[in-house]
Amino acid sequence: MIPNGYLIFEDESFLDSTVAKMNALRKTGQFCDVRLQVCGHELMAHRAVLACCSPYLFEIFNSDLEPHGISHVKFEDLDPEAVEILLNYAYTAQLKADKELVKDVYSAAKRLRMDRVKQICGDYLLSKMDSQSAISYRNFASSMGDSRLLGKIDSYIQEHFLETSEQEDFLKLPRLKLEVMLEDNLTLPSNGKLYSKVMAWVQRNMWENGEPLDRLMEEVQTLYYSADHKLLDGSLIEGQAEVFGVEDDHIQFVQKRAPRENVHRQLSTSSSGSLSPGSVKQTGKHEWKYIASEKTSNNTYLCLAVLNGVLCVISLHGRSSPQTSPSATPCLLKSMSFEGPLEESQDRLLAPMHYARSGLGMAALNGRLIAAGGYNREECLRTVECYDPKTDSWTFIAPMRTPRARFQMAVLMGQLYVMGGSNGHSDELSCGETYNPNADEWTQVPELRTNRCNAGVCSLKNQLYVVGGSDPCGQKGLKNCDAFDPVTKTWTSCDPLNIRRHQAAVCELDGFMYVIGGAESWNCLNSVERYNPDNNTWSLIAPMNVARRGAGVAVYAGKLFVVGGFDGSHALRCVEVYDPARNEWRMLGSMTSARSNAGVAVLDDVIYAVGGFDGNDFLNSVEVYNPETDEWTPCSESFSDA
């Protein structure tokens, strides 16, 4: 048909033929210009095709310094078969996956930000879900942060709660066991109201009374439902000393508990995250949600809920109050909260630095913490302070030759190294210097090949690495990675990062260098890369739960602890830990102060967070982390008797 003199022809077989040929070219490696290395498997493809299908890969390709070369993108936490399935989909628009691979395809699609595939995989999982698999599917959806999928699964669980509660996955969930005492003539409210009161009680214990969630689950909790419809802590009821047997639902006994201490202590909203198998990867938002409940026998209830991001079972048994005068309003014991401030005042705050410092260099050297330079709103500093934990005091050592901030510091062969940063007048420095503790002096080292601030610095296998940083205009991150040999005093270039980064946290663990978060321009990143010096390659690993720049990082007990930072709008208190054996991040207890661009280091098996910026003020304060309690404190009990 030729209307208006134009030739119009549609070849219905052309498109199918073309995509089939392009996919065949991909499989034979012809004209390919990108290599995806997935857990040791190499998959060839065409950059333009992948960029059209994956916003994630588009960003990587768009930031590549050499757009005409062959791009290398590595993934060590995705299934190679799942990625191959996505490549076939990108070329043919056909998604074909065995049912055992659907979750892996979903995970890969989430990483590559292929939302349509995510939705199709999620709908498939929903179609195959039954009461036996509902808990497993919910844990998966929660770990993926898929609210649409979670909502549909929760609706299914509500409709099939009794059948779901009999399954093995349900029985393995963490369990909160409650004994609720009732005054005469009182009955428990309807399920929804009852469990909203229970969750409010759990929140109050975690946030005000300082009880970690897993500690609340160690024993049966005694609660009291008062005449004014309040759910009270049974440990505060005067004369509460009896033991009550309960046979239903695995509750064996109720113990009288001592009044809780430190009621006014301010804690983070994070639990320890150690609960399993209901624990989920945190996304920075701690979920509290009632899902479903059922009355299983007389005065015995069962509930499924999410408490602070952890999927849990709540077992609740109601019984009459043991009070001799059950109709009377219970008298509360004098709580430790009235006496607590007297005891807490005896705890001494850790000694603050002489200067407030943000964007400082921090390292542990010869049993002491070294805090160098930084910015204090007025100027960039040259001064260097040294903290001795035995005396809880800061003293000055030799100042640096150059005032600098927005830099990092590392220990190499018993000496401190600082590189680059800003002096407050020009945006970036190329100069570096090293500190000899025996001579108490700083000397210059050969300059960087490029001026840069906000770069990561790390010692690895007797070399000093400088990674990323801000470009000369300060507008976007760099991919550059350079290594300095302290013996030959020369710099060499290394394989560049996959993603541009400045203000990333950088450290060494088990012979690898990790570059964590940062920002590409001003958009904060949660992605993480790992460098293998043996083959000079970078690999993308599991991303953090919270995107952040200006975070601190420390290595403790074989894991990476990432502390504070800035999420693009707020300075952060939150902390997360990376387990390389599991390739997994989880949230920990938050700091008492928000801190971006703080100094973080480990000294004598203690993690210190020093200085930084809390969003309003530059800080000179110090706080430490206790891994046993998953708490941060600005106090040191070791000095309380001094």
Report which of 407, 523, 380, 522 is spatially closest to residue 464, judged by C-alpha positions: 407
Any domain includes 334: no
* One domain, residues 412 and 291: no
> What are 580-618's pLDDT values in tens digits?
999 999 999 999 999 999 999 999 999 999 999 998 889
pLDDT at 343 over 60: no
For the record, the structure tokens of 459 come out as 């010692």
Residues 6 or more apart from 328 whose CB is under 8 A from it?
A: none
Q: Are residues 398 and 307 in the same domain?
A: no
The answer to whether residues 532 and 606 belong to one domain is yes
- When pLDDT is cut at 50, 70 and 90, the band that residue 275 belongs to is low
Residue 451 binned pLDDT confidence (cut-offs 50, 70, 90) = confident
Q: What is the mean pLDDT of residues 344-367?
A: 85
CB-based burial label for 438 (10 Å; 0-12, 13-18, 19+)? exposed
User: Over the stretch 568-580, which tens digit does the pLDDT of each residue have?
Assistant: 889 999 999 999 9
Residue 613 is predicted with a pLDDT of 95
Angle between helices 14-28 and 80-92 (to 10 degrees): 150
> 630, 523, 622: which is closest to 586 by C-alpha?
630
Least trusted range by pLDDT, from 273-282, 374-383, 433-442: 273-282
Select from 269, 302, 320 the last residue of a domain: 320
Q: Are 525 and 495 in contact (CB under 8 A)?
A: no
pLDDT of residue 234 exceeding 80: no
For residue 381, being part of any structural domain is answered with: yes
Structural domain includes residue 244: no
> Which of 304, 320, 336 lies at the terminal end of a domain, its last residue?
320
Last residue of a domain, one of 73, 102, 128: 128
Contact between 207 and 262 (Cβ < 8 Å): no
- In this structure, the answer to whether residues 368 and 315 fall within a common structural domain is no
What distance, in Å, lies between the first and last C-alpha atoms of the chain?
97
Contact 176, 315 (CB under 8 A): yes
If you average pLDDT over every residue of the chain, what do you get? 83
- The model's pLDDT over 471-500, given as tens digits with 9 standing for 90+, comes to 766 567 899 999 999 999 999 999 999 999
User: Encoding tokens for residue 321?
Assistant: 């109050």
Prediction pTM value: 0.53
pLDDT confidence of residue 264: 32
Evaluate whether residue 7 is within a structural domain.
no
Residue 53 is assigned to a structural domain of this protein: yes
pLDDT digits (tens, 9 = 90+) for 525-556: 999 999 999 999 999 999 999 999 999 999 99
| Same-domain status, 309 and 366 | no
Q: What is the CATH number of the domain that holds 20?
A: 3.30.710.10
Number of domains in the chain: 3
Q: What is the CATH number of the domain that holds 625?
A: 2.120.10.80
**What per-residue confidence (pLDDT) applies to 44?**
92
Burial class (CB in 10 A: 0-12, 13-18, 19+), 364: middle
pLDDT tens digits, residue range 237-270? 544 433 333 333 332 333 333 333 333 333 333 3
187 shares a domain with 46:
no
2 within a domain of the structure (yes/no): no
Q: Which residues pair with 128 in a beta bridge?
A: none
* Residue type for position 244: F
Calpha distance 405→411 (Å, rounded): 18
- 314 and 366 co-located in one domain: no
Are 315 and 298 contacting, i.e. CB atoms less than 8 angstroms apart? no
Contacts of 429 (CB under 8 A, 6+ apart): 402, 404, 407, 420, 421, 422, 423, 451, 452, 453
Look at residue 246 and tell me if it is in a domain.
Answer: no
More confident residue, 332 or 441: 441
From CA 318, how far away is CA 321, in angstroms rounded? 9
In a domain, residue 604? The reply is yes
- pLDDT score of 345 more than 50: no
113 and 59, same structural domain? yes
pLDDT of 131 higher than 70: yes
What is the domain extent for residue 221?
173-234+285-320
The predicted-structure confidence for 80-126, as pLDDT tens digits, reads as follows: 999 999 999 999 999 999 999 999 999 999 999 999 999 999 999 99
Q: What is the signed CA dihedral for 91, 96, 98, 103, rounded to 10 degrees?
A: 70
Is residue 42 within 8 A of residue 84, CB to CB? The reply is no
Q: Within this chain, do residues 111 and 182 fall inside the same structural domain, yes or no?
A: no
